[in-house]
């Protein structure tokens, strides 16, 4: 008897799923009818769950594929190579940064801020790097876009004895203090900056403290600055 009932319910549900609700409604026994209806709901729920799972899988596959292909650095690098073919140093660029020649940096930075594909409205950080006593100095810019939520790192290197990089203080206003600090510590001149002077150290300080070849001054306004501390460590 029970076997028959279950088979009856199963057949009715199958018919109902195909669109024929009468198969369930015509069941005379009330208990059996409600059991059939419950299993119909269950079947429908499982069907939709499977569907969403498969569709989610497809979506995640699609996004991860596009991300696997290119980092935002590479993506922006391609855009820049189309616009400014001579200014991008392709060999020195990598997945994590874009190496740029200093000459047209002001134009490139304006393009990066205003172009709808990049829209870098936020300059997050400027870092100065001394690559060693024999090598160049480097400036690194971290840009972020609030609209696209992507970020890039731009690197510009310049020779030690003639360290000059165009200023982006007029593009991103925050660059004012960032560039003054980089100038203070590394002596990199930002051409076009409207108020380029030391920001942390006193204005009559000698030398650029974070360069590798920096030598501590012997006296400052008559105060002796001891250099080597013997018998320490």
Per CB under 8 A, residues contacting another protein are 201-202, 209, 214, 216, 220-221, 223-226, 229, 232-233
Pick between residue 28 and residue 233 the one whose CB is nearest to another protein.
233
Q: Which two tokens stand for residue 34?
A: 């409600």
Distance, in Å, from the CA atom of 230 to the CA atom of 233, rounded to the nearest integer, reads 9
Pick between residue 177 and residue 220 the one whose CB is nearest to another protein.
220
| The Cα angle at residue 47 between residues 44 and 51, in degrees rounded to 5 | 140
Pick between residue 192 and residue 209 the one whose CB is nearest to another protein.
209
- Min dist CB 213 to another protein, Å, is 13
Contacts of 127 (CB under 8 A, 6+ apart): 139, 140, 142, 182
- Min dist CB 217 to another protein, Å, is 8
| Rg, the chain, Cα only | 34
- Min dist CB 138 to another protein, Å, is 22
Q: Which two tokens stand for residue 232?
A: 């320490």
Name the phi and psi angles at 97, rounded to 5: -155, 165
Q: Across the chain, which distance is largest between two alpha carbons, in Å?
A: 110
Pick between residue 52 and residue 232 the one whose CB is nearest to another protein.
232
The SS3 call for residue 9 is helix
- Min dist CB 130 to another protein, Å, is 15
Pick between residue 54 and residue 217 the one whose CB is nearest to another protein.
217
Pick between residue 28 and residue 230 the one whose CB is nearest to another protein.
230
- Min dist CB 223 to another protein, Å, is 6
- Min dist CB 204 to another protein, Å, is 10
For residues 195 and 176, the answer to whether their CB atoms sit within 8 Å is: yes
Burial degree of 64 (CB within 10 A; 0-12, 13-18, 19+): exposed
């Amino acid at each position: 008897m029970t076997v028959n009932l279950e088979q009856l319910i199963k057949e009715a549900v199958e018919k109902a799923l195909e669109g024929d609700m009468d198969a369930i409604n015509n069941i005379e026994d009330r208990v059996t009818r409600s059991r059939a209806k419950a299993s119909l709901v269950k079947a429908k729920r499982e069907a939709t769950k499977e569907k969403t799972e498969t569709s989610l899988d497809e979506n995640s596959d699609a996004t991860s594929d596009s991300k696997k292909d290119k980092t935002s650095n590479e993506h922006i690098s391609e855009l820049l190579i189309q616009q400014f073919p001579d200014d991008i140093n392709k060999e020195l660029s990598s997945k994590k940064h874009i190496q740029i020649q200093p000459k047209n940096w002001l134009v490139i930075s304006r393009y990066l801020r205003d172009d709808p594909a990049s829209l870098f409205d936020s300059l997050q950080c400027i870092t100065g790097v001394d690559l060693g006593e024999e090598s160049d100095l480097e400036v690194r810019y971290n840009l972020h876009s609030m609209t696209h939520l992507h970020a890039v790192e731009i690197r510009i290197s310049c020779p030690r004895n003639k360290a000059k990089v165009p200023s982006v203080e007029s593009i991103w206003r925050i660059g004012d203090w960032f560039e003054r600090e980089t100038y203070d510590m590394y002596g990199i001149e930002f051409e076009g900056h409207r108020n380029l002077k030391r920001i942390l150290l006193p204005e009559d300080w000698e030398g650029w403290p974070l360069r590798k070849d920096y030598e501590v001054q012997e006296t400052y306004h008559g105060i002796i600055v001891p250099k080597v501390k013997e018998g320490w460590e």
